[in-house]
Amino acid sequence: MRPRAAVFAFHDVVPAAGLAEVPATHRPYVLDPRDLHAYLLAAAESPRRAIVAGRVPGELGGGFFSLTFDDGTRSDYEHVFPALVERELRATFFVVPTRIDTPGHVTWAQLREMLAAGMEIGSHSMTHPFLDTLDEAGLRREYGDSKRLLEDRLGAAVRAASLPRGWGPPALAPILQDLGYRVFCTSRLGWWHPGDPPLSVPRVGVRRGMPVEEFAAIVDAERGALWRLRTVEAAKNAAKACLGRRGWNRLRTPLLELFYRNGDAR
């Protein structure tokens, strides 16, 4: 079997007491702290190594996995960082510089502490826009300005970036390469294989309700571990292709509001 590995994408962590304040459209991406700890325990128990995203292209084998966290929310420091340190795991945090030091997000001091502990800090764009609406100049501002600001304030090279909002333009890779990025993590579901394009890394999104057994199987790159997620992804992509971004959002928002009102209250 061809060597392969999973690069995971996490988002926010919110205790049950604060869940009611989370918008329905963001709720699928929010984990309970207990679930986060269960996932990280499974990761720590794997025989595979946890590496930061910036090291993924240099791996010639598949004996690793990578944990990435998008958005730079306050929970990255309050919940995720101490849990990673406790289990001796490393991860990559993709942050939006214009949100740093604002309510609900990490601070520059916290990012420096995380960086000093072996975590990687990458760019999640400058302002978290829909990238497919931007021209080349706009894309260069989003990833060039964010890279320069992060490097200036943190004193460390920024070589990794990730896609906000899930809709990426086709001509982004040459721009990222020109700006000095080595890795770009997408929202496309799939395995990473040695030799794959480093500026189009697929990820496995960790969503609310993912069974820990499924997460552990993906960490270990077991055969068929992505089957359920690929089935769901195929259905979503078909709907997006038919409806477009605006149509998809018009459909998704009321459905999620109905689901969380009548269904999952966790």
For the chain, what are the domain ranges? 6-225
Six-digit token pair at 102? 């604002």
With beta carbons less than 8 A apart as the criterion, state whether 229 and 189 touch.
yes
- Per-residue pLDDT for the chain (266 aa), expressed as one digit of tens each? 789 999 999 999 999 899 888 888 889 899 999 999 999 999 999 999 999 999 999 998 889 999 999 999 999 999 999 999 999 999 999 999 999 999 999 999 999 999 999 999 999 999 999 999 999 999 999 999 999 999 999 999 999 999 998 878 888 999 999 999 999 999 999 999 999 999 999 999 999 999 999 999 999 999 999 999 999 999 888 887 888 877 877 877 887 777 776 555 44
Query: Looking at residue 46, what is its pLDDT?
Result: 98
Per-residue confidence (pLDDT) for residue 262, from 0 to 100: 56
> Can you give the pTM of this predicted structure?
0.93
Q: Which CATH code, of 3.40.50.300, 3.20.20.370, 3.20.20.100, 3.40.50.1820, is assigned to 6-225?
A: 3.20.20.370
What integer pLDDT is reported at residue 199 of this predicted model? 97
**pLDDT for residue 175:** 97
